[in-house]
A and B are shown apart, each in its own frame.
Chain A
Amino acid sequence: MRPLVATLVTAALLFLFFVPMLTDLVGRPSLLALACRILIYAMAAASLNFVLGYGGMISFGHAAFFGVGAYTVGILYAHFASGELLFGFIPGSNQMLITLPAAVLVSGVFAAAIGALSLRTGGVQFIMITLAFAQMLFFFFVALKAYGGEDGIIIRRTNELAGLNMRDRVTLYYVILGFAVLFFLGLWRMVNSSFGAVLRGIQQNERRMAALGFAPYRYKLYAFILSGMGAGFAGALMANFLRYASPDMMHWTKSGELMIMVILGGVGSFFGPIFGAAAFMILETFLAGWTEHWQLLLGAVLLVIVLATKGGINGLLARIFRRGA
C-alpha cells in the first residue's frame, strides 16, 4: 500500500471509530444507523465489485445472495424461538458466531449453483440469467408462507455475540465495524493474491489465460462463489441490524442499487464500493427528506459521475490527491 493511501485509511478508520461520539455530539443518533447501513452495503457492493470490477462478470442478481444471507439468520432465529428442528435435524440458533458462518455457507451454495449455470453464458445473457435466478428466489420467498411470505420474518432480538449487549446501538455499530474491517482485510488479501491477478487477467483476455494453463470457467466460478458468500455475509449482518429479513432484500431493484453503488464509487477499484455505498445511502437519506422524487436527482448525480469522472468517486479522489501530492 502506498504511504498516502495508508495514511488516508488510518484516518478513515479513526473517523469510523469516533462516529458514535460524533453523532452524539451533533445530537442526531439516527446518523449512527445510517453509518451501520453504509458499512453493510459497502460489504455487499464490494462483493459485487469483486466479480463485476475484477472478474468482468456483470451479475444483476447479487441481491439474491444478500437476501439468502439475511433469511438464513431469520430462519435460524425462528427455529431457535420455536424450538423446532429445521428440516427435522437442524436446530435453530441465535448465536452470531453460528448464524454468520451458516449464512456465508448457504449463500455460497446458492452462488455455486447459480454461478455454475449462468457462467456457461456471457455478456447480456449472463446479466439476464443472474437476474432471472434472483427473481426466482424473490418469488420463492414471497410464496414461503411458513416464514412470513411477503411480510418477511421478524427477528425479535439481534443475535448474541460473546456476551455483548447487542440491543445497545453503539455496541452493535462497533460489532458491524469490526466485521467490516475483517471483511475488507480479507478482500484486500484476495484481490492482491495470485488468484486476484488471475481473475483480472481473465477479464482482460480469457484465451490468453487459458493458453497459460488456467481454465477461465473454473476461476470465474470460484470468484462468483466467493462474491456470493461476501454478499450473504453482508445480508446476515443486515438481518441482525434491522432485526428483520424480507423478500424485498432480494428484489431486482436491490441488485440495481448494489450496481449503482459500485458504479458511483468506481468499478474495479478497491475502495470504490465503500465510497459508492456511502454516497448512495447519504444521497438517499437526504434527497428523500427533501423530495419524494429523490430517485430523479440520484439519476442526475449518477449521470454526472459516470460522464465526468473516470472511475467514479474513487477515480475522482485519486486524481485530486495526486494533484495535491
Chain B
Amino acid sequence: MLNVANLAAAYGASQVLFDVSLEIGEGEVVTLLGRNGMGKTTTVRTVMGLLAARGGTVTFGGRQVQGMAPERIARMGAGLVPEGRQVFPTLTVHENLFATAANRLKRDEPWTLQRVYDLFPRLGERAGQMAATLSGGEQQMLAVGRALMTNPGLLILDEATEGLAPVIRSEIWQVIERLKSQGQSILLIDKNLGVLKRLADQHYIIEKGRTVWQGTGADLDRDAARVQAYVGL
C-alpha cells in the first residue's frame, strides 16, 4: 500500500528527515513513534506531498508519488487527519463532511454521512452547527469523519488523541479499532504506547529523522529498554 524508503526532507536549509523508511501493507495498522521534534509529522507531510522530498522514494498504491501535488496524492486514496484537528471552522459539521466527500477508489461500501454519524453520534446531533463551536474532541471526530468521507485507501492519523479528555480518547480508540476490523489500512502517530501495542501490526520509531527501530508489539516488549530510550515518556 505505502512504502517509504530512505526519505529525506527539509524545511528550507534545516534538514529534518535524513533516512526514514516504513512500509504499510493492505489492511495493516502501523504506528510511527518517536519523541517530539524527531520528524513524525514531517514524514506525514512529505508522504502527502505537502513538503517536497529531498531524497528517497514514496510509493503509494504501486506508484511513486514523491514530487506529486498534494491533491493528486489525496485523490489516489491517502486520507490525512492532520495534527491539531484542522476542520473548516466556518463551515457547519454537515458541510465539513459532505464538501469533500468522494469515493475515488470505488469502494463497494463507501462511507456515507449516515455511517459517519453512526460512528460518531455526537456529530449527528450537531450537524447544523459551525465546526468552530464544537469541543476539541468533537472537532477531532469531525476531522476523522471528514477523512473517512473521502473513502481513503490509507487513513493517516497524526496525533489524533493529543490533548483530549480520557473519555473522548477511548471513544476515538474504539473507532480506530472498528476501522481496523473493517480492513482499513491506517498509519497512526501517537504517544499512547499501551493502546498502540494492542492495535498495531507493526511499529516504527524514528529519531532525529532516521528510522532507528521497527518491530511488532511483542518486539516492543522484548526491546522495552531501547524503546524506552527512544520514546522516553
Which of A's residues lie within 8 Å of B, judged by CB? 194, 197-198, 200-201, 204-205, 207-216
Let me know if A198 and B75 touch, CB within 8 A: no
Alpha-carbon distance between A198 and B98 when the two chains are bound, in angstroms: 9
Per the CB 8 Å criterion, the residue count for chain B at the interface is 26
CB-CB under 8 A from B79, the residues of chain A are 212
Alpha-carbon distance between A197 and B100 when the two chains are bound, in angstroms: 8
Let me know if B99 and A194 touch, CB within 8 A: yes
17 contacts between A and B (CB under 8 A): A197-B98, A198-B99, A198-B100, A200-B88, A200-B90, A201-B88, A201-B99, A201-B100, A204-B90, A207-B50, A210-B70, A211-B48, A213-B74, A213-B102, A214-B74, A214-B100, A216-B71
CB-CB under 8 A from B70, the residues of chain A are 207, 210-211
Alpha-carbon distance between A201 and B88 when the two chains are bound, in angstroms: 6
Closest Cβ of chain A: how far from B58's Cβ, in Å? Answer: 15
Given contacts A194-B99, A211-B50, is CB(A204)–CB(B89) below 8 Å? Answer: yes
Cβ of B64 under 8 Å from chain A = no
**Further contacts, 8 of them, CB under 8 A, given A201-B91, A201-B100, A212-B80:** A197-B98, A208-B82, A209-B100, A210-B50, A212-B71, A212-B74, A213-B102, A213-B150
Residue on B with the closest CB to A213? B74
Closest Cβ of chain B: how far from A221's Cβ, in Å? Answer: 14
Alpha-carbon distance between A255 and B193 when the two chains are bound, in angstroms: 59
Let me know if B88 and A214 touch, CB within 8 A: no
Let me know if A214 and B71 touch, CB within 8 A: yes
Cβ of B101 under 8 Å from chain A = yes
Closest Cβ of chain B: how far from A260's Cβ, in Å? Answer: 24
Q: What mask results when residues 96 to 107 of chain B are scored 1 for a CB within 8 Å of chain A, else 0? A: 101111101000
CB-CB under 8 A from A207, the residues of chain B are 50, 70
Closest Cβ of chain B: how far from A223's Cβ, in Å? Answer: 14
CB-CB under 8 A from A201, the residues of chain B are 88, 91, 96, 99-100
CB-CB under 8 A from B146, the residues of chain A are 212
Let me know if A205 and B86 touch, CB within 8 A: yes
Closest Cβ of chain B: how far from A220's Cβ, in Å? Answer: 13
Q: What mask results when residues 66 to 98 of chain B are scored 1 for a CB within 8 Å of chain A, else 0? A: 000111001100011010001011110001101
B window 84-137: CB within 8 A of A: 86, 88-91, 95-96, 98-102, 104
Let me know if B99 and A215 touch, CB within 8 A: no
Given contacts A210-B71, A215-B71, is CB(A197)–CB(B99) below 8 Å? Answer: yes
Closest Cβ of chain A: how far from B47's Cβ, in Å? Answer: 11
Alpha-carbon distance between A201 and B99 when the two chains are bound, in angstroms: 9
Alpha-carbon distance between A215 and B80 when the two chains are bound, in angstroms: 15
Best-surrounded residue of A208, A209, A213 (most CB of chain B within 10 A): A213
CB-CB under 8 A from A198, the residues of chain B are 99-100
Residue on B with the closest CB to A198? B99
CB-CB under 8 A from A215, the residues of chain B are 69, 71
Let me know if A213 and B100 touch, CB within 8 A: yes
Residue on B with the closest CB to A208? B86
Residue on A with the closest CB to B94? A197
Alpha-carbon distance between A198 and B74 when the two chains are bound, in angstroms: 15
B window 140-167: CB within 8 A of A: 146-147, 150
Residue on A with the closest CB to B100? A212
Closest Cβ of chain B: how far from A183's Cβ, in Å? Answer: 23
Q: Which of B74, B89, B99 contacts A211 (CB 8 A)?
A: B74
Residue on B with the closest CB to A2? B128
Given contacts A194-B98, A211-B82, is CB(A200)–CB(B91) below 8 Å? Answer: yes
Residue on B with the closest CB to A216? B71
Residue on B with the closest CB to A218? B71
Closest Cβ of chain A: how far from B102's Cβ, in Å? Answer: 7
Q: What mask results when residues 41 to 72 of chain B are scored 1 for a CB within 8 Å of chain A, else 0? A: 00000001010000000000000000001110
Alpha-carbon distance between A214 and B70 when the two chains are bound, in angstroms: 9
Alpha-carbon distance between A214 and B147 when the two chains are bound, in angstroms: 13
Alpha-carbon distance between A220 and B62 when the two chains are bound, in angstroms: 31
